[in-house]
Amino acid sequence: MGRITRAVSHLTPEEVKHKMINDPNPLYRQRWMIIYNALVDPREAEDIARDTGVSVSTVHKLIPHYNKMGVAAVETPGKGGRQNAYMTLEEEENLLKTFFERAQSGEIVTASQIQPEYEKAVGHAVDPSTVHRVMKRHKWRKVMPRPRHPKADKREQDDFKENFPSAVKEVEKTKDPKDERPTLLMAQDEGRFGRASDPKRAWAPPHVRPLVPHQFIREYVYAYAAVAPKIGKMVSLVLPYSNTEMMNIFLEQVSKDFCSYFIIMQVDQAGWHDSNDLVIPENIRLLYQPAYSPELNPVEHIWEEIREKRFYNKNSESLDKVMQNLCDGLMELESDPQHIRSMTYFPHFRMAA
């Protein structure tokens, strides 16, 4: 029979049991449980360790220490935690708050921009990994910024989204009173696709660095697309230019494809959308979004989807190949209304529905 591990009665079994159950610190509760076992049922350390779910060495260290020191052996912090931290969590949080404004504008590109201020606060140099751990601890993460045109007016964009339902109603007043067709909200945009390629981030297994084509051949075609987010429908054409003549062709196609609707179409302020030579079909009305605000247009998500799946990190041997990839991507999307709806049903369209 091995050596019996016993706990000295610094506290009664009832007092130990009370601490084992009610102590707010989980580490202390575990320690009191080990002591309770050694106090009410002394036995080999291996048995106590098995019954309390700890290692034998933990029992060997704790019980002699408790027998000598009493309660102080239990209610002391362990080796882990933040006992040797340079700053408290609150101090770290206050330091990071000073960088919030720069973070919102995308200026904090590397942790090295925070490191000097951190070192100034603690009074000595630190390893870059220290700053990385601070940022991770406060749930900072490195994300791709949303692009914004430098001339964009945030207030004008917010007003457009807020007033979109009333603007739709105003445009609806131009509808012929005898026209009984339902109103359909759409968004329209053009996207340029060509042979110029720019490497993008890609998934790869460990120790593999992908090699992708990178070329600057300036040959382009233009995709015209209009989506009806609420019903997940889309119409598109691939045309050689982006101008008023091409826009006339496209609007005529939209008018035919959705001839059973009265269409209110959100468009940007490109010159060919407001040209004197633009021919707008009788069942279409254009509603202009603020200038320099592509993020307000749902069709931008269509272009992102096609570029990511059909063009990123791929080489196009000819403009015909570009057109084929583009047409395949557009047709694939047109056959999936649910996917179109999930990508394009922006909040301001929902508000006006």
Do 177 and 274 fall into the same domain?
yes
pLDDT along the chain (353 residues), means of 10: 85 92 91 93 92 93 91 77 83 94 89 93 93 93 85 94 96 93 97 87 84 84 97 97 96 97 97 96 96 96 93 87 94 96 97 91
Q: Residue 204 gets which letter from DSSP? A: -
| Residue 81 in domain | no
Q: Which amino acid is at 285?
A: R
* Residue at 332 is within a domain: yes
Please report the pLDDT score of residue 199 as a whole number.
82
Question: What's the confidence (pLDDT) of residue 282?
Answer: 95
Whether 282 and 176 share a structural domain: yes
Same domain, 179 and 50: no
Tokens linked to 18: 């009370």
Return the residue matching tokens 């009610």. 22
Distance (Å, rounded) from C-alpha 322 to C-alpha 328?
10
Residue 292: how many other CB atoms lie within 10 Å: 16
pLDDT at site 1? 56
**Taking Cα atoms as reference points, which of 180, 182, 191 lies closest to residue 299?**
191
Q: Do the bridges between strand 262-267 and strand 284-288 make them parallel or antiparallel, or are there none, so unpaired?
A: parallel
Q: How far apart are CA 52 and CA 307, in angstroms?
A: 58
Closest CA to 3 of 43, 51, 54: 43
> Tokens standing for 239?
């045309």
User: Which residue is it, tokens 């989506």?
Assistant: 227
Angle at 120 between CA 114 and CA 122, to 5 degrees: 100
Last residue of a domain, one of 44, 73, 102: 73
Tell me whether residue 320 is in a domain: yes
Residue for token digits 């159950």? 21
Owning domain of residue 112: 89-137
Q: Name residues whose C-beta falls within 8 Å of residue 252's C-beta, 6 or more positions apart in sequence.
A: 279, 281
Taking alpha carbons only, the member of 34, 27, 26, 25 closest to residue 7 is 34
Helical H segments across 105-224, by residue range: 115-122, 128-137, 154-172
CA dist 325 to 222, 321, 333, Å?
13, 6, 12
Alpha-carbon gap, residue 67 to 92, rounded angstroms: 40
Query: Are residue 11 and residue 124 in the same domain, yes or no?
Result: no
Helix intervals (H) in 13-111: 13-22, 26-40, 45-52, 56-69, 89-97, 100-104
pLDDT, position 290: 96
Q: Same structural domain for residues 26 and 97? A: no
Same domain for 167 and 101?
no
**Cβ proximity of 266 and 185 under 8 Å:** yes
